[in-house]
Homo-oligomer: A and B are copies of this chain.
Amino acid sequence: MTDKKFRQKLDLRNGRVDMTHGSGGRAMAQLIDSVFAASFDNPALAEGNDQARLSLPKGCVAFSTDSFVVSPLFFPGGDIGSLAVHGTVNDVSMSGAEPLWLSAGFIIEEGFELSQLLLIAQSMAEAARKCGVSVVTGDTKVVERGKADGVFINTSGIGIIPDGIDISVKRIKAGDAVLVSGPIGDHGVAIMSKRESLSFDTEIISDSAPLNGLVERMIASKVDIHAMRDPTRGGLATALNEMADAANVGIRLEEKDIPIRLSVKSASEVLGLDPLYIANEGRLIAFCAAKDAQKLLEAMRSHEHGAESSIIGNVVEDKRNFVEMRTTLGGRRIVDWLAGEQLPRIC
């Protein structure tokens, strides 16, 4: 953004963010230059304007935003930086779009260590490179000690929806199959384990991952995908309830078909949580006509982030918009919305 002449003045090893880093003056220019511009280096950002000017390929656009307030900032399998990239890349991808550009807005608490901020920025930059997106514009604010919690990050994303693709909750209809791209609950349990200092025989790693490659593979299969969503806060159960509600249908699940790792199951029991409601950050739910489900499943399984995909249920007519599950014991259970607060600050 600004000239290199500022770069060496910031003590990135032992320094801390102070209020001058947010006041719009030289200290802010130093911070942006040393930490953000150095990490996110790309031509649009380097132009040094307060907005990125981008040349857009022809097509419809997907636009999404997400703020990240995860606690702790670093967890098994990721950190707030990579999570902030994956989260918005995934929200954009769920429309079938190819994500291209991200914005990054930082709200930093006074006293935050510059070395940690740099780690986070570098993690974002690496995640962006891996997804094939660029962080093209940004903003930095600093608030007084006790008025934030380390760092909060907002990312917004723009992607291009290929011609002929129409993926939206409104297209879900009775007869559709419901697929999930892998085991659920890993992210939430990884965060909670870290927060509660629990240790299990096998460490549980967040599933935080970009899903744009998997979505590209699914679209290449030529199956008419009706809807997709990544079940983050509130987990699989809440995402399915939202979708049933928006499409005015019911959903019937088969418990035996829902992939959950044994370690996640055990940890959930210890923590008193239901894996159906635990956040995921690298999983997607997809809906398509039942006749296409096997083909879509194969396409999903052929990708590293969909290797453990499964068909978990189907859509029925139901004016009550209930999500019901046939349990492994043969009973039926209503899978309701998450009612209270299960896991705060999970993303």
Of A50-58, A72-80, A123-131, A309-317, the segment with at least 4 beta carbons within 8 Å of chain B is A50-58
* Copies, count: 2
| Interface membership of A47, Cβ < 8 A | yes
A272-286: CB near B (< 8 Å → 1, else 0) gives: 000001010000000
Q: How far is the CA of A230 from the CA of B141 in the complex (A)?
A: 17
Q: Does A40 contact B (CB under 8 A)?
A: no
Q: How far is the CB of A145 from chain B (nearest CB, A)?
A: 11
Whether the pair A25, B337 counts as a contact (CB closer than 8 A) is yes
Is the CB–CB distance between A95 and B51 below 8 Å?
Answer: yes
List A132-172 residues whose CB lies under 8 Å from chain B: 136-139, 141-144, 146-149, 152, 154, 156-159, 161, 168-170
B20, B97, B107: the one contacting A340 at CB < 8 Å is B20
Bound complex: CA A168 to CA B53 (Å): 9
Q: Do A64 and B48 touch (CB < 8 A)?
A: no
> CB-nearest residue of chain B relative to A342?
B23
A104 to B339, CA, bound (A): 25
A255 within 8 A of B: no
Q: Assess whether A64 is in contact with B342, with CB atoms less than 8 Å apart.
A: no
Q: What's the least CB distance linking A120 to chain B, in Å?
A: 16
Instruction: Write out the residue numbers on chain B whose beta carbons fall within 8 Å of the beta carbon of A148.
Output: 147-149, 152
CB pair A26–B142 under 8 Å, yes or no, is no
Chain A window 91-102, contacts with chain B (Cβ cutoff 8 Å), 1 for yes, 0 for no: 110110100010
Find the B residue at minimum CB distance from A97: B51
A266 on the B face (CB < 8 A): no
Knowing A107-B107, A148-B149, the reply to whether A341 touches B19 (Cβ < 8 A) is yes
A66 touches B (CB below 8 Å):
yes
Stretch of A194-202, A238-246, A322-330 lying at the B interface: A238-246
- Min CB distance, A44 to chain B, in Å? 8
Known: A29-B337, A65-B156, A146-B146. 19 other contacts (CB 8 A): A3-B245, A22-B344, A24-B232, A24-B238, A26-B337, A26-B338, A47-B168, A47-B169, A50-B94, A53-B60, A54-B62, A55-B60, A55-B61, A67-B105, A69-B141, A143-B152, A144-B344, A147-B148, A152-B152
Please give me the 9 A-B residue pairs with the lowest Cβ-Cβ distance, nearest first: A24-B233, A24-B234, A25-B338, A65-B103, A156-B156, A51-B64, A154-B154, A48-B246, A147-B149
Asked whether A42 is an interface residue with its Cβ less than 8 Å from the other chain, the reply is no
User: When each residue 8-45 of chain A gets 1 if its CB lies under 8 Å from chain B and 0 otherwise, what string results?
Assistant: 00000000001110111111110000000000000000
Interface CB pairs A-B, < 8 A, 17 = A2-B242, A23-B341, A24-B235, A26-B338, A29-B242, A47-B170, A50-B64, A50-B91, A54-B60, A55-B61, A63-B137, A65-B139, A67-B106, A141-B152, A143-B152, A152-B152, A154-B156
A256 at the interface (CB under 8 A from B): no
Question: B344–A67 contact, CB under 8 A?
Answer: no
